[in-house]
Amino acid sequence: MRIVLLGPPGSGKGTQAIRLAKQLGIPQLSTGDMLRAAVPAGTLIGAKAKEIMERGELVPDQLVVAIVAERILEADAKYGFILDGFPRTIAQAAALDDILRAAGLRLDSVLELDVDEAALLGRILNRAKEATANGHARADDTEAALRVRLEEYRGQTKPLSDYYRERGILKRVDGLQPIDKVASSLLEAIASQARRCARTAASSSP
């Protein structure tokens, strides 16, 4: 299965993507993790991305698309993947379509975690406090950067819901349920989409 997980910062996307990936036996591909890994590695990409990420802004489409294009064609992603944090703009979604189409593939499912915005700021600032106590704070988990991240989400990423809804592959799940309940709702959404795909395939075969 080729899955995209959408949701605002603080919606629990990363946690759920890791769980889903384990359950389904496919890799979780997080562009945030890839970009953060590029920073200490001292790569050119890392140098460009570092300051942009710290401000909470989006890294240029071209750069992220290049990373993803390479990653999703690696051997471990051959039978599927969960994209976490990508696409984040309509241009990225269109680029993803092109990459998949060129490889004769397509997305099976887009899952959106629905979370009340008022809950997000509190959640992230809490995560930041815990991470600081454990010595691995993220540079963009400050209140100022979070406000920019939410703004970017509203302006650039939220329109992806309509983009995928129009294609009939979007499912929304209530992200404010307990973690286990969100996980089971996501699995149920994927299963119902898989059943729909199977029916479509059966009805279009001669």
Q: Which of 5, 20, 26, 92 binds ligand ADP (CB under 6 A)?
A: 92
Told to judge if 55 belongs to the known catalytic residues of this protein, a careful annotator would answer no
5: contact with ligand ADP by CB under 6 A: no
How many chain residues bind ligand ADP (CB under 6 A)? 17
Residues of this chain, 119-138, that bind ligand ADP according to CB under 6 A: none
Count Cα atoms within 13 angstroms, Cβ side, for 163.
21
157: contact with ligand ADP by CB under 6 A: no
Give the nearest distance from C-beta 159 to ligand ADP in angstroms.
Answer: 14
Active-site residue identified among 2, 19, 36, 149: 149
Residues of this chain, 60-89, that bind ligand ADP according to CB under 6 A: 64, 85-86, 88
Q: Which of 3, 12, 19, 32 binds ligand ADP (CB under 6 A)?
A: 32
Q: Judged by CB, which is closer to ligand ADP: 125, or 197?
A: 125
Contact 5, 84 (CB under 8 A): yes
58: contact with ligand ADP by CB under 6 A: yes
Rounded distance, CA 187 to CA 147, Å?
Answer: 31
Residue nearest to ligand ADP (CB): 32
Rounded distance, CA 43 to CA 195, Å?
Answer: 43
Rounded distance, CA 199 to CA 178, Å?
Answer: 32
Active-site residue identified among 2, 19, 36, 88: 88
- Beta-carbon neighbour count of residue 200 at 10 Å? 11
Q: Which of 4, 45, 59, 190 binds ligand ADP (CB under 6 A)?
A: 59
Look at the block and give the residue holding tokens 């509190």.
122
Give the nearest distance from C-beta 202 to ligand ADP in angstroms.
Answer: 35
- Beta-carbon neighbour count of residue 105 at 10 Å? 14
| Nearest residue to 108 (alpha-carbon basis) of 192, 30, 29 | 192
Active site residues: 13, 88, 127, 138, 149
Binding site for ligand ADP (CB under 6 A): 9, 31-32, 35, 52-53, 56-59, 64, 85-86, 88, 92, 140, 149
